[in-house]
Structures are given as structure tokens and as C-alpha cells.
Structure 1
């Protein structure tokens, strides 16, 4: 099937893009086109105008200012594949999550900000943004504003973005060196959307969990911050079984997984993944992601100690 007829606009500035979006017609933004082009091809999306922002300078900038990472609207997924692309634990989290997104040709064109603006419940970036307290920058006919990721997603493909607004960037606070990152995902095949995925960070001080952040992918009709599971982890002792051994049922990470599955997740059934199946997957993957985060934090601590001998 071919897309329905549409007009095409290629603005050269953010202002021109906003004007095109606010002209009173059904307009969609084209950044990477990872999702939009497919939806147009299947005629599930029929925009009257496509606003291509790829010629707007400055939107492809990735920068660190103090303790904040800023990702412009045209930064492609594959910019995060190397853990060193972003400093510290956040870079590790990004590098673990990004390789689960589609496949290399898609990652070379799709964008993080585009994924956030699209608001797919199975988007890895949306859950990462919610877990890490990201802030989205928007520009519209009424001026600029900011929206916290936790309040940006309203449901499947529904966000706080107004029709005349362009999401120009997203900002992430950078975690400290005493934090580790983990990511775990389950899907039917390599080319499917995640049935469930989990992004997690752990901050450990004196062998105890000082802070936990857990984002759930496709565990509800929008990305979920597993706050009940996070609270249950505070003050827990981080003792891991040997490599290759499963977490025992009473382990804090296993308990956090069960809490996330029952108290935080609100799964929506889909083909090949019913509600009970998804809850089980949430419990297992939370434990795996937390274990990976704890191992990452332990490795960072060892490097830090070695550097101060």
C-alpha cells in the first residue's frame, strides 16, 4: 500500500518548523521516520503535511553541560551504541538499551527524541527517560516550555506535546560514579517489539542500596516507573550469588521484581503475551536488570579504588 497524498515542508529553522506545525492542518514531524513512514505506508497515519526537520541546524547536537546531558532532536540512535559516547553509568545504560532497538539501518536514521515524541508503549527510550527523570524541551507558537518525562506520556501514542509544538531536545541528569546500570529485554524474535523490557540503575554506598531507578517497557499502556519496587530496595544489602547462579527467591532483587510485577505494572494483553505472562516477565527481567546494574556498579567501584592506590 502507498501513503495517502500529503504536502511536504522542509523548514530551515525551528521557527519555520513551528509555523508549519501551527498552520491549522494535520501535520506530522519527520526526523528519522522510523515509525512515521511505516504508518503512512499502511495508511494508519494520513497527515496532510509532513514537516521534515532534517535541514534545521543545531538539532543534531549531543552535549554535556555540568551534570546534564542534552540530546537534540536529530541525534540518531546509533550515536549511543558505544558506552563512551555518553559519560558514566548513563552511557552504559544507553549502550545496553540502544542495541535492542530494531536493527542497524534503522538505528542509523531513527532518533531518540522522535521515539519519545511518538510515545510507543514498547519504546525502550521512553522507559529510560521516565526512569532517569529526563526533561523534554518543546517549542511551539506560544513559546518554549519543558515537560518532565514522567508527565509526558498519557497513553499509547498520546503525549503532552501540542499539535503546534516541536520536541527540540531531551535532557538527562548524569548519575554519579557510585551508580551502575542494567537493561534486560524479552521479545519473540530479534525483529519484534519488546514484549517486556526493564531499564535499571542502582546507587550503592557502603554495600547498601542508596537509590534505585527502574523503568518498565511495555508493562502498561505507557512507560512505567516502578516506584514501589524502588522503595522496597532502599537500604537492602547488595550480595550477589556467583556468576551463572539464579537469584534466590528471597533476594532483594527477586523481591523487587515481584513487587514491580504486581504493584507497578499494569500489563495490556497482546498476541503471544497475555497479562500473566507479562507479569512473570516483568518479575524476571527486573531481577536481571538489577543484578546487571549491581555488577556494573561493583566494577566501577573497583576501577575507582584501583585509580586511588
Structure 2
């Protein structure tokens, strides 16, 4: 059994300081990423720094044009928040589809984004809504944050503190769930900004992780309706194929989920 030192940080600065002192430290929020890989001996951190109870990392705030969710806020709290449901209903709906009740009560938005699983839901929301990721060092635009499978723009030891979502004119998320894990075999978030621009982000399909769909964005900007996507063909090239669904199957799902999302957005 390898030795790991557990710390419960009381502040963001304390957490960052503990990380810097560890030879191979890791942050712990909900634990759905770190703990399983530790059990499988795929990770052996020298220090585990629990950030789940840092008050400055928990909470939801709304202004006239921005919804801000702090990084250690759970999926359950996002799904149940009246502020989220009023400002961006699509985001509350997305959070309610993550995993099962046990996962939603422990998992956090910041942990999901830092891990950047290619089938996770939140990356589609962050990229599709054009959010900004705030860390203890800087702010990062969504288009710059996601850099491939399980890879982000975060530096070693950099800690996500909050995510700021511009409130859209309309948005919706449609997801085809894996029946066991509840991860997205394909999930698509569509959003029309208040300025009239359109963003479409897909998760669970691409070999490079969450990605935008420029052809769909252009079609929907010209005509916001599900039928505007009838002529769009999604290429299976670059899409994942596995025992749960071939690349061709996922290509079809991308279009179907996008059309469902547009219909749901109204």
C-alpha cells in the first residue's frame, strides 16, 4: 500500500500552497475521477488536497447577463437551483442528466471540466454557451480551454475557481445516454446568444473530445429551426467507434440530438 497524505484545505490559497509543497499532489473535489484511478493503482499522489469545503468555491450567482457557478458546486445543486433554471434552463437540465443521484450529490462542475472526459456533459455546456473558466491565476475562454482527450489549458497546480456563463437568448441540451454509465454516447448543446450568434457543441462523439460544429452553427444562424439541419451531413471521420456505437452511428446521433435540442430550445 502506497502512502498518501490527506489535507482538507480551508482556502484557495491554502490549497494552492499545499499543492506546491507536494511532490505529486492532486486536488480532490467530488472524487469521481481521482479515487477510482487511485484504487486501480493508476495514480499514487503524494498528497490529496480536499477542496470540496472551501466556501469560496461553492455557490451560484446571477447578474443581468451572466450566470456564475463556483467550481465545487455539485451537479445536484446546479440542477435544483432556481437561479440556474431561470437564467439558463438548459444548464439545469444538463446537470440533472449526469450520472445517478449519488454522482450528482458529490460530483462538481469544476472537477468535470478539469478532467475533460470526452463523454462528459459539462464540457458541451461550457463550449456551447461560450463560457469563461476562472482559475486562481487567470481567466480562460472556453474555445481555448479544451485541448483534446482529458487535456485542458490548465497548468500544473492551477485550480478552477468558477465558471461564468453568458446568459443566452435560448439554449437546450439533448443527450443520448449510455444505459449503464449515463455518460453521453452523444450529447449536443445548441445556443443562440443575445447578439444573434449561434454555438453548437457536441460531446461523446469526437475522438478529440468536445468540439463545435461550424456547419450547424451557420445553418441555424440563417434559420433557427430543426429543419435547417436536414441538409447537414455529419462525417463519421474523426468520430469514436466502440462496442456501444460505431462512428457512423454516432454521426447520425449528432444530427438527431442537435435537431432535438433546437426543438427543445424553441
Q: How high is the TM-score relative to the length of structure 2?
A: 0.91
Report the equivalent of 2:115.
118
Give matches, 1:90-105, under 5 Å: 90=88, 92-105=89-102
Report the equivalent of 1:269.
241
Report the equivalent of 1:254.
230
**Distance in 2, Cα, partners of 1:103 & 1:87:** 20
Moved over 4 A (4+): none
Report the equivalent of 2:257.
285
State the Cα distance separating 1:173 from its structure 2 match.
Answer: 0.9
SS, match of residue 244 in structure 2: coil
State the Cα distance separating 1:87 from its structure 2 match.
Answer: 5.3
Match status 1:29 vs 2:19: no
Report the equivalent of 1:214.
200
Give matches, 1:136-215, under 5 Å: 136-139=133-136, 144-175=137-168, 179-202=169-192, 210-215=196-201
Given the superposition, is the C-alpha separation of residues 168 and 109 from structure 1 closer, same or farther in structure 2, using an over 3 Å criterion? same
> What CA RMSD, in Å, does the superposition of the two structures yield over aligned residues?
2.3
SS, match of residue 108 in structure 1: helix
**Which structure 1 segments of 5+ residues have no match?**
239-246, 295-309
Match status 1:236 vs 2:234: no
**CA-to-partner distance for each residue in 1:201-241, whole Å, 9 max, x for gaps?**
24699xxxx43221101122221121221012222264xxx
Larger Rg belongs to: 1
Contact 2:85-2:91 within 8 A present in 1 as well:
no
SS, match of residue 51 in structure 1: strand
Q: How high is the TM-score relative to the length of structure 1?
A: 0.79
SS, match of residue 120 in structure 1: coil
Given the superposition, is the C-alpha separation of residues 83 and 180 from structure 1 closer, same or farther in structure 2, using an over 3 Å criterion? farther
**Distance in 2, Cα, partners of 1:145 & 1:188:** 35
Contact 2:229-2:255 within 8 A present in 1 as well:
no
Report the equivalent of 2:8.
10
**CA-to-partner distance for each residue in 1:257-304, whole Å, 9 max, x for gaps?**
x34x239x831222222211111111111111111112xxxxxxxxxx
Contact 1:135-1:149 within 8 A present in 2 as well:
yes
SS, match of residue 107 in structure 1: helix
Given the superposition, is the C-alpha separation of residues 82 and 253 from structure 1 closer, same or farther in structure 2, using an over 3 Å criterion? farther
Contact 1:21-1:163 within 8 A present in 2 as well:
no
Given the superposition, is the C-alpha separation of residues 85 and 39 from structure 1 closer, same or farther in structure 2, using an over 3 Å criterion? farther
State the Cα distance separating 1:180 from its structure 2 match.
Answer: 2.7
**Distance in 1, Cα, partners of 2:58 & 2:81:** 19
SS, match of residue 169 in structure 1: strand
SS, match of residue 93 in structure 1: helix
